[in-house]
Each structure stands twice: as C-alpha cells, then as structure tokens.
Amino acid sequence: MHFTGRTWRPPYEANTPIIQATSGCAYKNCRFCSLYKDEPFRMSPISEFEADLAEIKQYQPYARRLFWTGASPFVMSYDNLKLRALTVRDYLIKCQSIAMFASVRDIMSKDVWQLRKLRAMGINGLSIGVESGSDETLKLANKGYTAADILTQCKKLDEAGIEYYLVYMTGLAGKGNGYRNAVESAELFSQLNPYFISVDSLTLFPDTELYAMVQRGEFTPAGEKERIEELCTFISHLHIRTHLLANSVSNYHPIAAHLPYEKEKALGELQYVLETKDESEMQAFRAGLRSL
Ligand code: SF4
C-alpha cells in the first residue's frame, strides 16, 4: 500500500479498510492544528490508487465500505472523484460506500447535480471538521469559511442525499466564550441533518498558531469544567435527532448519546462530572495528551 504521508482516520472508521487518495492538507491554516504542518499536499496518482485497490481486493474482496485517507480528499474535482469512485467499483464489487474527510470549501466547488452523481457512485459518509457554528470562533480558528457557508454547503449535501458527520470542538472559543459558542453552534447544526456529531476538545500543541497566541496573551484557553458546561449547553440547545459521539481521546469524560432520547441521561452524567471532579485533576489529564 502507498501510505506516504501521515495516515489519520476518525475513530468511528476504525473497522473500515483505508486507501490513500490524498496526503497532507490542502489548507493547513487552522490555528489549532499542526497535523500535516510539515507535509506537502499531494493527490495520489491514479496508477498508485489502482495498485492499492488491487491489494485490498486480495485480502478484503467483499469490503462494503472504504475510507479514503488525507485531510480532505473531497478537494478533488468532480471528474477526479468520479474517476476514482468508478475505479473502486472495478476492484471491490460489493463496496457500497466511500467515506472521507471533506471541508466546507470542497463542497463549494460542486453543484448539487454533481453531488447527486457522486452519491450514486458510492461517495457517502463525509466527515466535516467545522469545529463550530459560530462566526467569531470560526474566525478565531481561521477555518476560512463562515457559519452561513456551513449552512449553504451542508444543505447541498442534504439535497443530494450524501450522509455527513459534523465535528464540534469544545474549548475552541476560549475562556468565557463556551456558552455563546455552544448556543450558536447548536442553532446552526439544528438546521442541518448530520447523521452524527463527533465532539473533540481543544488540546493545545506547541507547534500551532493558537499556542503562540497563548504565549502572546492573545488567547486564553477555557478551563476543563467550562468545556463540560459548554458541552451541556450544546446538547441542551440541539433540536435534531442525531447521535452525539463525545468519546474520542480528547474528551475528559467520554460519552455517547442518541439525541434527543438520551439527552437527560447525558446531561446528568456530565453534571455528575462537574460536581465530583477537580479542575486540576482534569487539567492534568489534558496535559498528558500527546495527540488530537
Ligand atoms: S484542521 Fe483539517 S483542514 Fe484545518 S489545517 Fe488541520 S487538517 Fe487541515
């Protein structure tokens, strides 16, 4: 297999076979992220991609799902995505869905009819790391798009029938801003249809711009309890039927809930953490994290 770059897939795709479609990140400007900092962006040549498909076919000929690695393979043009999706069919006859990371920017360049066609060719399951639905936070994180862009582009996915997952990050708005960030984000997400929402919590690493902003006194990180309160606010203000997965390594207290049915249970669990845990103990957990 041609894994030339840093290979990263979300925890919920842990059982999905992976193939490198792109490596590195085409954007690299989010202030909290250093994942692909030293790696140039590259699209895997189709010959390389095809050779990897042939290899996957040898050991998983009946794979029903495939995850394309890279920070945003959806940045590829419609024609390039189409070529690769059809090539997957040549090798994996049973493959019904092709998942990958996508940015809101990548959707902008595609029309709804193109998205529909891609869906028909198997592309389904886009992980979109918007992190927030608040313009102030999106600007602070330098995501490169606005809340209105998220709404417009994800509605195109809804229209095309492409399943997508949104990522929300607690703590990203900084100290004292968690409540506002949660309310604005929940209001935006509630206008969309994410199959599930994955929640991470900001961990500051020294090679990021946000870390440098802390050193310069331009950003004050939220405490751990504020992040749990932010998550409670976010859950309380969400008004859609979806799954919430706040169980990745960056969450101090991992929880998963089917909303709205398990809303009260999730809030009760988080309230218990707020009442029984010590802030310094929680901060020690964060200091021990070595990756996102
Ligand atoms: S968060 Fe995603 S889009 Fe932003 S710099 Fe990191 S890998 Fe690239």
- The Å distance, Cα 204 to ligand 1 centre, comes to 14
Predicted local distance difference test score (pLDDT) of residue 95: 97
Task: Determine the atom of ligand 1 nearest the C-alpha atom of 36.
Answer: 7
Nearest CA to ligand 1 atom 2: 71
What digits encode the pLDDT tens for the residues 76-96? Answer: 999 999 999 999 999 999 999
Nearest CA to ligand 1 atom 5: 28
- The Å distance, Cα 103 to ligand 1 centre, comes to 9
Q: How confident is the model at residue 183 (pLDDT cuts 50, 70, 90)?
A: very high
Predicted local distance difference test score (pLDDT) of residue 11: 86
What's the average model confidence in pLDDT over 68-83?
Answer: 96
Q: Which fold has domain 11-287?
A: TIM Barrel (3.20.20)
What digits encode the pLDDT tens for the residues 228-282? Answer: 999 999 999 999 999 999 999 999 999 999 999 999 999 999 999 999 999 999 9
Q: Is residue 128 lining ligand 1, measured as CB closer than 6 Å?
A: no
Q: Is residue 33 lining ligand 1, measured as CB closer than 6 Å?
A: yes
Domain ranges of the chain: 11-287
Predicted local distance difference test score (pLDDT) of residue 9: 86
Q: Using CB atoms within 10 Å of the CB of residue 47, give its burial: 0 to 12 exposed, 13 to 18 middle, 19+ buried.
A: exposed
Amino acid at 129: G
Instruction: Identify the H or E element spanning 129.
Output: strand 123-131
pTM comes to 0.94
Predicted local distance difference test score (pLDDT) of residue 219: 97
What digits encode the pLDDT tens for the residues 103-157? Answer: 999 999 999 999 999 999 999 999 999 999 999 999 999 999 999 999 999 999 9
Q: Is residue 75 lining ligand 1, measured as CB closer than 6 Å?
A: no
Residue 159 has pLDDT above 80, yes or no: yes
Q: Which of 25, 101, 149, 204 to mutate to test the pocket of ligand 1 (most atoms within 8 A of CB)?
A: 25
Strands (E), 174-248: 196-201, 242-246
Q: Is residue 27 lining ligand 1, measured as CB closer than 6 Å?
A: yes
Residue 49 has pLDDT above 70, yes or no: yes
Instruction: Identify the H or E element spanning 270.
Output: helix 263-276
For the chain, the average pLDDT equals: 95
